[in-house]
Structure 1
Amino acid sequence: MAKKEEQEQNGTPGPKAGVADKTMVMAPVADPSDAPDSKGDAPAEKEEKPKTKKKQTIYTIKLIPDDDGTTKSIRLPARVLKFGLASVAAGALLFVGAFSYSVYSTFANQNGASEIRELREVNNIQQEQLLQLSKKANALQDEIDQLTQLESDLRRMSGAGPAQDDGASDGSGLTNDGTNGKHDGQGGPYVQQPSLDNVSEALDNVEKDIEKRRASLLELQEQLKAQQESLGTPGMVSLPGSLVGSTVSVTTPTGWPARGEVSSPYGLRWNGSDFHPGIDIANDMGTPIVATADGTVTTAGWNAGGYGNMVDIDHGNGIMTRYGHAMQVVVSAGQHVRRGQIIAYMGSTGFSTGPHVHYEVRVNGQTVNPVSYL
């Protein structure tokens, strides 16, 4: 019996033939999870567990007063705290950068202002030195003028005749109508501060004048020696500005633009405080002013730069003459004029102290001493 049961359990056929086979159905093996719990409850249905969210970290800041008052708490999520710390760090960097730039700008501005002050001081010193140099040049010119006058007196007393340059090379003391000392009108453009070029030109003129005076005095010495030996008398001398026998081109300025006396020479004047780009020939109001060469009038009328009523004449080849301070202008721009033709009448318009004509000669735009053209 027991053997039979064992065979049945092992699934082997019994010893007896003809007996129908019996199929044994085995019960499914129970899932341990479906087993009843210790309390005997029925197994629960299997469910999917939901995905759990990561728990957010929160920081708490406690504010504890010294007087044992109410403690206050501030809860900040980690994300907000990180954003706050990043903002504070960025703000600190911006503040440091702005502060550094402000300090740098302040020092840079101070250095720039200091350099500007130093440059101004140097410029003022140079201007003062230039003014002193111009005053010395003006003083030397005055001494040359005195020597020239002394030479003229000696020539007149000895009858040796005038010097070849007809007096002072800068034009001071010259006259062509015997009115020496009766007129003193001066003017020109508005006061021009002497520049390095002006002072250099004035010193060059002084040097040239010294050479001329030396040559003239040596000539006078020879003439006086000849007079003492032969007891002769000097010959006739033509008047200043005379064109008798002249072969000078009609388009080259030659002669005086008006009768009168030179009241202000070319170059530095007024103790070196002004550079005069021409010569002033003074005479009575209404004295005729004539063109000193043939040419075309380019300007005729009022000039706001201190010349008053002014006439400019282009003579070609880069040569131009200017006549300022006229009472009345009687030519017009574009008109062709000839040497000796009346173009205006002497007055005291513009920057002027009395009736005179301001006469300039320009070569290629640069002013030159008009005395050499008288």
Structure 2
Amino acid sequence: MARQIEPEDRREYTIKIIPHQGETVHSIRVPRRLFKYGLASLAAGALLFVGAASFATYSAFSKASDKSEISELQQVNTMQQEQLSQLSKKANTLQDQMDQIHQIEKELQQISGAIPDVEAAEPAHDGQGGPWVKPDVKNVRMALDNIEQRLEKSRANLEAIRSALAEQQQIAALHERLNASTPTIWPSSGDVSSPFGMRWGGSDFHPGIDIANDYGTPIYAAADGVVTEAGWNSGGYGNMVDIDHGNGIWTRYGHAQEVVVSAGQTVKKGQVIAYMGSTGFSTGPHVHYEVHVNGEIVNPANYLF
């Protein structure tokens, strides 16, 4: 006899529940169609659960990540604001220092006589004002650029002042050397007993001046120089000293009682070179003093102050 085949939608699944220790076995018959629907529903539910759980996990992670990122951005912004504030204070400090340097520049310009910078001149008025603008990166950078430009100007001004001062020092040194080598001091103390020029009713030309005082009165070098002659002169000067001062100038000191320098010796202005006496053609203690310039004898009085 042929086996009757049940329709597909009438076939069943039997689920047996077998407890432990020989208890009653329970059987549950589930139509195949219902079983398929149940599995499909279970799978769909599982997928929905997994999707929901994944979305919830993603949302939670995303929120945590966004919160962390926002927190980091806030920290970075706070640090940038603090750095900007410190930079603004530093720029302000540099501005104050530049103002101090500017003041020093003006003082040095007055001392040196250097031409002042027109733009750096002191303003006649000091009114101030304007809106309050919070510092940001742009305007702080502008302030620093301005300080850098002022620094370059100050450097140039100070360089000009240094050059002016160096030139003044050179001129001063030259003047000092010229003054030191120019016979501008009296060779001794006393009275002018005979001036430069004609004397004794026109019978004699006197090529110097005579300064009379007591025996032993010190005789000084009228300027820096090198002794070219020191000792006895048979031409009427007696004990005599000649000093070459350079630049074509030399001086002579005659009739000394004693000479205390020697030929070739370097002497300084005001240094004692001899002591007053009355040697050679002389009527009493005095020093005969001559000045020669470029081979010409000149009036010593033109150099004495």
Higher helix share: 2
TM-score normalised to structure 2 length? 0.42
Larger fraction in strand? 2
TM-score, scaled relative to structure 1: 0.34
More relative contact order, 1 or 2 (CA 8 Å, 6+ apart)? 1
